[in-house]
């Protein structure tokens, strides 16, 4: 109850920011980020676009990968119209395709650029059951597995950049509090919905992908520490974004429900705040493997804090990207019997 009231009021937490803080406000002390090169997935609209706009406004060089190059070019044009001196590179990337991820990373490396910041923001909610070209349920493939491979292929560059520049690298995984809605065996459910349409539940599949983002953060933080890499990784819940309510509303009770619901939602600048805070604020130096909401550290679900399950998903993911999802699911089925 107290947490809800604090959220509604926008009360500041230990960080000095709260649910009503905006991306511009949390980066005011980072007015010159010209030393940073950042990759931001899903930056053509919504939270990702606002994150890109604010970081460009602060001077960061941006790489905007997108499935639709035109949409990314449009996003770039909007940013350049506000920030004429911004340096933005648009590249093609379909996160649901492992081949596309590998191609993107190869092209990025050919540019010879440093990499200080990786924001894994892109997300998908597949209402209808769909399978990626690699044989993985589409929501999971886009929200998690593509980002897993992308991060894996870029970590070395980030570690080298940090060593050469002395600037700590940061990885930000955008998850959701909805990760707490998933219960059960994550790997088994992924195999089930990747093979059998009849078991598909869109909300549960989305929750699974967001839980996977949390697991990825926990295990990657441990591995980065073992590597001795000057790179951190943290996970964020951006909040639920305020959208236009279009259905018919009649009566005092209905109006009251909509009014109360609107207070739980965020504007896009508010929703991008936690990502920008975790990506840039000096307070988070050396902080890794944590989960943030409303620009403050908070707790994941009980399952989300299970390090053994995080390690298990990592091993499964490594198998999927090296041997293929079908081989991974076949092995899992064999082990179950």
Residue 13 inside a domain? The answer is no
pLDDT score, position 229: 98
Which DSSP symbol is given to 266? B
Residue 190 inside a domain? The answer is yes
The 10s digit of each residue's pLDDT in 190-248 is: 999 999 888 999 999 999 999 999 999 999 999 999 999 999 999 999 998 854 433 44
pLDDT score, position 274: 98
Residue 40 inside a domain? The answer is yes
Question: DSSP H helical segments within the chain, as ranges?
Answer: 2-9, 23-26, 46-57, 69-82, 98-110, 138-140, 146-165, 186-195, 202-227, 252-264, 268-271, 273-280, 307-323, 325-336
Question: pTM of the prediction?
Answer: 0.91
pLDDT score, position 17: 97
- Residue from 200, 206, 277, 291 carrying the catalytic annotation: 200
Catalytic status, residue 291: no
Residue indicated by tokens 């992924």? 190
- Give the structural domain span for 190: 21-332
Residue 89 inside a domain? The answer is yes
pLDDT score, position 243: 44
Residue 337 inside a domain? The answer is no
Domain total for the chain? 1
User: In sequence order, what are the residues at sequence separation of 6 or more whose Cβ sits closer than 8 angstroms to the Cβ of residue 229?
Assistant: 155, 158, 159, 162, 169
Q: How many CB atoms lie within 10 A of CB 31?
A: 9
Distance CA 267, CA 71 (A): 22
Residue 11 inside a domain? The answer is no
Residue 12 inside a domain? The answer is no
Intervals of the chain under pLDDT 50: 1-2, 4-5, 243-249, 254, 257-258, 337
Residue 137 inside a domain? The answer is yes
- CATH code of the domain containing 247: 3.40.50.720
pLDDT score, position 3: 54
């Amino acid at each position: 109850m107290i947490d809800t009231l604090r959220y509604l009021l926008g009360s500041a937490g230990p960080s000095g920011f709260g649910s009503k803080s905006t991306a511009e406000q949390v980066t005011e002390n980072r007015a010159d980020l010209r030393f940073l090169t950042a990759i931001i997935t899903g930056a053509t609209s919504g939270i990702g676009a606002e994150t890109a706009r604010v970081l460009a406004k602060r001077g960061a060089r941006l790489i905007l990968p997108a499935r639709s190059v035109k949409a990314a070019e449009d996003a770039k044009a909007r940013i350049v119209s506000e920030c004429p001196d911004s340096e933005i590179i648009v590249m093609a990337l379909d996160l649901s395709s492992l081949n596309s991820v590998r191609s993107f990373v190869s092209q990025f490396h050919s540019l010879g650029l440093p990499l200080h910041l990786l924001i894994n923001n892109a997300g998908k909610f597949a209402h209808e059951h769909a399978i990626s070209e690699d044989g993985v349920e589409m929501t999971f493939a886009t929200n998690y597995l593509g980002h897993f491979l992308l991060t894996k292929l870029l970590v070395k560059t980030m570690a080298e950049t940090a060593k050469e520049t002395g600037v700590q690298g940061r990885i930000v995984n955008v998850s959701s509090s909805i990760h707490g809605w998933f219960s059960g065996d994550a790997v088994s459910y992924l195999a089930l919905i990747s093979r059998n349409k009849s078991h598909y539940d869109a909300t549960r599949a989305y929750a699974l992908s967001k839980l996977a983002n949390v697991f990825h953060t926990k295990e990657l933080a441990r591995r980065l520490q073992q590597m001795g890499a000057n790179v951190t990784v943290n996970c964020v819940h951006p909040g639920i974004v305020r959208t236009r309510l279009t259905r018919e509303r009649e009566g005092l009770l209905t109006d009251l429900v909509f009014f109360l619901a609107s207070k739980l939602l965020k504007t896009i600048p508010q929703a991008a705040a936690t990502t920008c805070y975790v990506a840039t604020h000096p307070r988070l130096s050396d902080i890794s493997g944590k989960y943030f909401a409303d620009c403050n550290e908070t707790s994941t679900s009980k399952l989300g804090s299970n390090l053994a399950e995080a390690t298990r998903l990592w091993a499964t993911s490594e198998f999927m990207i090296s041997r293929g999802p079908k081989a991974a699911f076949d092995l899992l089925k064999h082990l179950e019997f």
